[in-house]
Amino acid sequence: MIVPVLLLGLAAIFAYVGSRKQLSGIQLFVVGLFFLAGAIGVIFQDLTMRIAAYFHVGRGADLLLYFSVLCGVLISANFYFRFKETERILVEVVRKMAILSAQSPAASVDGANMPEK
C-alpha cells in the first residue's frame, strides 16, 4: 500500500521541481537521476539491502539515511556558497553606489540633492 503513495509523492515532487525555470538542463537531469534512484529503491527494496551489504552497512534504511545526510550537507554547502557570492556582489554594488554619490552629490540613491558638507 505504501509503494504507490511513495511513487506518487516522488512523481509530484519531481513535477514541481521540473516546472521551475531556474534549473538548467544538467541540473534537471541530475535531479531526475536522484528521483529515479528513489523510485527504484521504493520498487526494489531488496536492491537497497544488497547495496547496503556491499558497503557493509547493516540495513538498506541505514544506507538511505547516510545518503540523505550527505545530500543535506551538499545542499547546505551549495546554499552557503550562493549566499556568500550574493553578499560579495551586494557589497560591491553598495561600494560603487557610495563612491558615485560621494563624487557627485546630485547622483544620490533616491535622486534628491544631498546637502554639501
Reported as a single tens digit per residue, the pLDDT across 80-106 is 999 999 999 999 999 999 999 888 766
Say yes or no to pLDDT of 27 above 60. Answer: yes
Q: Specify the pLDDT at position 113.
A: 54
Q: Specify the pLDDT at position 30.
A: 83
The pTM is what? Answer: 0.61
Say yes or no to pLDDT of 45 above 70. Answer: yes
Q: Could you tell me the three cell numbers for 86? A: 550574493
Contact 42, 10 (CB under 8 A): yes
CA distance 35 to 5: 14
The 10 Å Cβ neighbour count of residue 28 is: 14
Residue spans of the domains in the chain: they are 1-43, 61-104
The per-residue pLDDT of the chain, averaged, comes to: 84
pLDDT above 90 coverage of the chain, percent: 26
